[in-house]
A and B are shown apart, each in its own frame.
Chain A
Amino acid sequence: QVQLVQSGSELKKPGASVKVSCKASGYTFSAYAVNWVRQAPGQGLEWMGWININTGNPTYAQGFTGRFVFSLDTSVTTAYLQINSLKAEDTAVYYCARERVTLSNAIDIWGQGTMVVVSS
């Protein structure tokens, strides 16, 4: 079964860091890029960027440079999103998602989402 399974909810204080994991299974991990998407409470979907599984090279969307870091551990078929210097406005659900180039870059598999709450 093709799936992306994310780590559980996090409650963090402002200024702290958080690392969200996204474990892939059921497919060849290196064959598909992993994207990250943010959804603030009651808001729409916002693309954060993607990571090339073969090279490990990340690409960040506008507004997600500096404090956001995408990384990989291919030995355990897992992608990571780290957010540093957390702010209250980082409170959101974060999704990892598999990109299908053969479907003209549609996202065909989504993780279940990880809720990150930033509060003092």
Chain B
Amino acid sequence: SYELPQPLSVSVALGQTARITCGGNNIENKYVHWYQQKPGQAPVLVIYRDSSRPSGIPERFSGSNSGNAATLTISRAQAGDEADYYCQIWDNSTYVFGTGTTVTVL
């Protein structure tokens, strides 16, 4: 089955840029979605179809997908961006979630 490894954790200084990768064989051929999950809360969709933002999601969140990795970029990181982030694809009629990355804002 398809696997989506992510780094366990990413740290970013307040106001700087965080990048979270989501690996997968030829992942560029699939649409990647990203979810933010804060402690005790349900996930929230922050990026869909590689790089599109749902309404209400700040422009500081952006996404890209090329080769064997998709990337979620958080610009001008804020304390409120501290959360777990998961990538997700739809592969062979199956949802696959990434392993998840904890983002810490220093």
Contact = CB atoms under 8 A, between A and B. Distances in A.
Contacts of B49: 103-104, 106
Nearest to A110: B42
A31 interface: no
B13 interface: no
A112 B44 CA distance: 11
Interface residues of B, number: 25
Contacts of A89: none
Contact of A47 (B35, B54, B94): B94
Given A35-B95, A47-B95, A103 B48 contact: yes
Contacts of B42: 95, 110-113
A46 B98 CA distance: 9
Interface of A: 35, 37, 44-47, 59, 61-62, 95, 100, 103-108, 110-113
Interface of B: 1, 31, 33, 35, 37, 42-45, 48-49, 52, 54, 84, 86, 88, 90, 93-100
Given A47-B97, A107-B88, A107-B95, 10 more contacts: A44-B97, A44-B100, A45-B86, A45-B88, A45-B100, A62-B1, A104-B49, A106-B45, A107-B33, A107-B45
22 contacts: A44-B97, A44-B100, A45-B37, A45-B43, A45-B100, A46-B97, A47-B94, A47-B97, A62-B1, A95-B43, A105-B90, A106-B31, A106-B49, A106-B88, A107-B43, A107-B45, A107-B95, A108-B48, A108-B54, A110-B44, A112-B42, A113-B42
